């Protein structure tokens, strides 16, 4: 597959993220805003207290809505992945993450799960997020922040220890190290309809929403070069879906739309252990 977006691909591999502008058409942004509001209205109030730092974190299969399935296969997004050289991506999870007005910042995090596998210490494309903000974002309403290059290089944030009930997820301890300024961080403001593509291992966070309007992002995980991944990684990817009844039900119900993007693995390999903490090989 020829790579036509060479500069962006280089940035994605080197810095861990890149942005494509105007990917969603305005009608799609309107439709997704309506879908997000509907989804948020279905959720249990306790969820929002537990996830105050994110606002909410609602997977697409929890309250299935056709607009989310449409977004997963959105032709212009698939076109962008193809420009980056990925014409056979597979999809994984995806979430509505929405900060209400006057909401706290997100804590620093990375979302790699393959740290037990040597592939995590290479620049081979693995797991990418596609993030669609549904309003224009800036520092005041909670834009994304990232530490460029932190997917490949150890940063002080990798040493920040987390415990259960440490006041981070529910943002009750904003003095925690996971909320502080990070060396090298940059803001990533975007317009509604742009897409931010990023490496799951990238350290990222978001500013507080100090405005009166909700700030929603839809994030979808893909495995852009699935066919090239090792067998034990493919096994982990597929197991993660098949272990969840609600996710499998969603796959069955939306197969006519998303079928080509659902990962399949029929081999004999055992899955690599799920590990979200980088080992010493990350220097
Ligand atoms: O809220 C955001 O801007 C990003 C959210 C996110 O990436 C996360 O919760 O992992």
pLDDT of residue 199: 99
Give the model's confidence band at 212: pLDDT under 50 very low, under 70 low, under 90 confident, else very high. very high
pTM, entire model: 0.98
Q: At what angle do helices 231-242 and 245-258 cross, to 10 degrees?
A: 110
143 within ligand 1 shell (Cβ under 6 A): no
Rounded to an integer, the average pLDDT of 143-172 is 96
pLDDT tens track for 176-202: 999 999 999 999 999 999 999 999 999
pLDDT of residue 146: 98
Of 230, 242, 226, 232, the residue nearest 273 (C-alpha): 232
pLDDT tens track for 225-280: 999 999 999 999 999 999 999 999 999 999 999 999 999 999 999 999 999 999 99
pLDDT of residue 119: 98
Instruction: Compute the distance from residue 1 Cα to the ligand 1 centre, in Å.
Output: 30
Rounded to an integer, the average pLDDT of 122-142 is 98
What's the alpha-carbon Rg for the chain, to the nearest Å? Answer: 18
User: Other CB atoms closer than 10 Å to residue 67's CB: what's the count?
Assistant: 18
Q: What angle do CA 249, 79, 218 make, to 5 degrees?
A: 50
Measured by CA distance, the residue closest to atom 2 of ligand 1 is 206
User: Is the model's pLDDT at 158 over the cut of 90?
Assistant: yes
Percent of the chain at pLDDT > 70 equals: 100
- Residue 58: beta bridge partners? 96
**Left (φ > 0), alpha (ψ -120 to 50) or beta: where does 16 sit?**
left
Instruction: Compute the distance from residue 268 Cα to the ligand 1 centre, in Å.
Output: 35
Instruction: Compute the distance from residue 205 Cα to the ligand 1 centre, in Å.
Output: 6
Sorted by where each begins, the domain ranges of the chain are: 6-148+165-261
User: Is the model's pLDDT at 211 over the cut of 90?
Assistant: yes
Contacts 24+ apart (CB under 8 A), 6-13: 8/83, 8/84, 9/84, 9/85, 12/84, 12/125, 12/128, 12/197, 12/198, 12/199, 13/123, 13/125
3-state secondary structure of 239: helix
User: Is the model's pLDDT at 80 over the cut of 80?
Assistant: yes
Among 56, 139, 204, 211, name the best residue to mutate to test ligand 1's pocket (greatest count of ligand atoms within 8 A of Cβ). Answer: 204
User: Is the model's pLDDT at 39 over the cut of 80?
Assistant: yes
- Residue 109: beta bridge partners? 204
pLDDT of residue 1: 76
pLDDT of residue 49: 97
pLDDT of residue 253: 97
pLDDT tens track for 1-20: 799 999 999 999 999 999 99
55 CA: nearest ligand 1 atom: 1
What rounded mean pLDDT belongs to the chain? 98
Rounded to an integer, the average pLDDT of 151-165 is 95
57 CA: nearest ligand 1 atom: 9
109 within ligand 1 shell (Cβ under 6 A): yes
pLDDT of residue 113: 98
pLDDT of residue 218: 99
Instruction: Compute the distance from residue 207 Cα to the ligand 1 centre, in Å.
Output: 10
Would you say 86 and 125 are in contact if contact means Cβ atoms under 8 Å apart?
yes
CA atoms within 13 A on the CB side of 154: 12
206 within ligand 1 shell (Cβ under 6 A): yes
- Which homologous superfamily does the CATH classification assign to the domain defined by 6-148+165-261? q2cbj1_9rhob like domain (2.60.120.620)
């Amino acid at each position: 597959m020829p790579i036509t977006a060479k500069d962006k691909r280089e940035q994605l591999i080197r810095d861990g993220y890149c942005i494509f502008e105007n990917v969603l058409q305005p009608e799609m942004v309107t439709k997704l805003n309506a879908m997000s509001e509907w989804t948020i209205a279905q959720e249990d109030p306790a969820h929002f207290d537990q996830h105050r730092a994110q606002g909410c974190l609602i997977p697409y299969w929890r309250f299935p809505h056709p607009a989310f399935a449409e977004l997963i296969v959105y032709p212009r997004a698939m076109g962008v992945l193809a420009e980056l050289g990925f014409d056979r991506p597979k999809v994984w999870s995806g979430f509505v993450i929405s900060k209400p007005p006057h909401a706290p910042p997100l804590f620093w995090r990375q979302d790699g799960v393959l740290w037990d596998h040597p592939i995590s210490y290479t620049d081979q494309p693995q797991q990418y997020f596609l993030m669609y903000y549904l309003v224009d974002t800036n520092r005041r309403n909670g834009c994304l922040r990232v530490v460029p290059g932190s997917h490949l290089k150890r940063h002080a944030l990798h040493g920040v220890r987390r415990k259960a009930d440490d006041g981070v997820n529910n943002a009750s301890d904003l003095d925690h190290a996971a909320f502080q300024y990070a060396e090298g961080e940059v803001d990533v403001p975007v317009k509604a309809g742009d897409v931010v593509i990023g490496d799951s291992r990238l350290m990222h966070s978001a500013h507080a929403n100090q405005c009166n309007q909700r700030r929603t992002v839809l994030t979808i995980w893909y495995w852009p070069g699935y066919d090239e991944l090792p067998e034990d990684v493919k096994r982990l990817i597929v197991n993660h879906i098949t272990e969840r009844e609600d996710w499998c039900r969603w796959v069955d119900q939306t197969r006519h739309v998303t079928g080509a993007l659902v990962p399949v693995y029929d081999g004999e390999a055992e899955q690599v252990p799920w590990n979200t903490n980088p080992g010493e090989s990350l220097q």
